[in-house]
Amino acid sequence: MQSISFNMEANDGAARAARFRLRGRTIRTPLFMPVGTQGAVRATPPSLVEQSGAQIVLANTYHLSQRPGERIIAKAGGLHTFMGTDLPILTDSGGFQVFSLKKLSVDEDGVTFAYPVDGRRTRLSPQRSMEIQQALGSDIAMAFDECLPFGVDREYAVKSVDRTTRWERRSKNAHTRSDQSLFGIVQGAFWPDLRKRSALEMAEISFDGYAIGGLAVGEGHDKMCEILDATIPHMPVDAPRYLMGVGRPVDLVESVARGVDMFDCVIPTRHARSGVLYTDMGRIRVTDRRYRRDFYPPDTRCACSTCATFSRAYLHHLFKVGEILATTLATVHNLHWFASFMAEMRKTVMVGELESFRKWTWETFGRSG
């Protein structure tokens, strides 16, 4: 493992503004990480991802191990060289795929999957996940866990949480790369006692940072907050806390208010592809007819290259004719908006005014945003 020199800069209630070191850079939290599942943030050249203000990008251990295979990426000189980015990279462990993909079996040693593209049987285990992530050479590796579905029964959840603790301990034991940080993942489904147990066990194993997994799986905003309230008080204060797969502006601000530092989600990139743009006035669907003759930029207050150059009318046109440049321009804007949103939130934490930012976020985006 590699120490990340986590430094707290300010607190505002439970919210934190902090910094840590990664790949020779200073990373400032709270932060949002764009998702590049297959080794690319979709439709977006890495130079534009960097210009968006993103500080870390996420890539997917399981998918990259299938295509092109971690050996090819290692031979290319590692994931940064392969993807053409110098941004720090976090790789997930494959644990989310235990939830999202068809699995053939889960046993004490790991999970057997059928690869969705060709049905090929593949196996993930703590050791194998570490082997892949170390070959990829990401800056932050994630310990191997099992992400449970919403509605899982307690009996299975108890068994799974205990096993996840064993898997994560094995992950740590298998992890040898000194230039890579390793984060643990707290599970426990939707039982506060299981969450607490998992949080304490992860702290006891000791990682460079701690993620909260198994949320944003369909439980809704209130349930998510309830579980955060039951989990975060039992997590270490002197390391980054990373809420996986979140999310929407109100989820982000409520989680930061509860002490979360890091997030990843496909929302800005996936929504961009369907023409949904985030702005300081709320979300807009630029494919709506009303934008046909709207010559304002997507967000009049935004400094991104899309807003500096293009109008809503142009984006509307590109989406209407099915031109994929639309996707790139919209993604660049959304990534920039999310990075700016987090930077603004950080500022309000620094000056003790998160409450007003939280209020603004609710007024602007509400539950559906």
Q: Could you confirm whether 288 is annotated as catalytic?
A: no
Best CA proximity match to 249, nearest among 147, 187, 339: 339
- How far apart are CB 128 and a second copy at their closest, in Å? 21
State which residue, 83 or 256, has the beta carbon closest to a second copy: 83
> Judged by CB under 8 A, does residue 118 bind a second copy?
no
CB 145 within 8 A of CB 160: no
Q: Which one is catalytic: 12, 92, 261, 299?
A: 92
> Judged by CB under 8 A, does residue 123 bind a second copy?
no
Q: Which one is catalytic: 12, 208, 264, 299?
A: 264
State which residue, 279 or 327, has the beta carbon closest to a second copy: 327
State which residue, 26 or 309, has the beta carbon closest to a second copy: 309
233 contact partners, CB below 8 Å, separation of at least 6: none
Site for a second copy in 323-342 (CB under 8 A): 323-325, 327-329
CB 157 within 8 A of CB 178: no
State which residue, 130 or 315, has the beta carbon closest to a second copy: 315
Q: Which two tokens stand for residue 15?
A: 């919210």
> Judged by CB under 8 A, does residue 318 bind a second copy?
yes
Best CA proximity match to 266, nearest among 37, 40, 55, 67: 37
Peptide bond before residue 247 is cis, with ω within 30 degrees of 0:
yes
> Judged by CB under 8 A, does residue 234 bind a second copy?
no
Q: Number of helices (H) and strands (E), helices first, in the chain?
A: 15, 16
State which residue, 49 or 215, has the beta carbon closest to a second copy: 49
How many CB atoms neighbour CB 4 within 10 A? 19
**Strand bridging mode 181-186 / 209-212:** parallel
> Judged by CB under 8 A, does residue 76 bind a second copy?
yes
Peptide bond before residue 116 is cis, with ω within 30 degrees of 0:
no
Burial (Cβ within 10 Å: 0-12, 13-18, ≥19) of residue 289: exposed
- Segment lying near a second copy (by CB under 8 A), choices 107-115, 147-155, 280-288, 304-312: 304-312
- How far apart are CB 76 and a second copy at their closest, in Å? 5
- How far apart are CB 334 and a second copy at their closest, in Å? 15
Q: Could you confirm whether 208 is annotated as catalytic?
A: no
State which residue, 11 or 100, has the beta carbon closest to a second copy: 100
Rounded to whole angstroms, how far apart are CA atoms 180 and 2? 5
Rounded to whole angstroms, how far apart are CA atoms 307 and 299? 6
> Judged by CB under 8 A, does residue 321 bind a second copy?
yes
CB 296 within 8 A of CB 284: no
- Segment lying near a second copy (by CB under 8 A), choices 63-71, 169-177, 186-194, 222-230: 63-71
> Judged by CB under 8 A, does residue 84 bind a second copy?
yes
Residues marked active site are found at: 92, 264
Name the residues that contact a second copy, by CB under 8 A.
Answer: 38-48, 63, 67-68, 72, 75-77, 82-84, 292-293, 295, 305, 309-311, 313-314, 316-318, 320-321, 323-325, 327-329
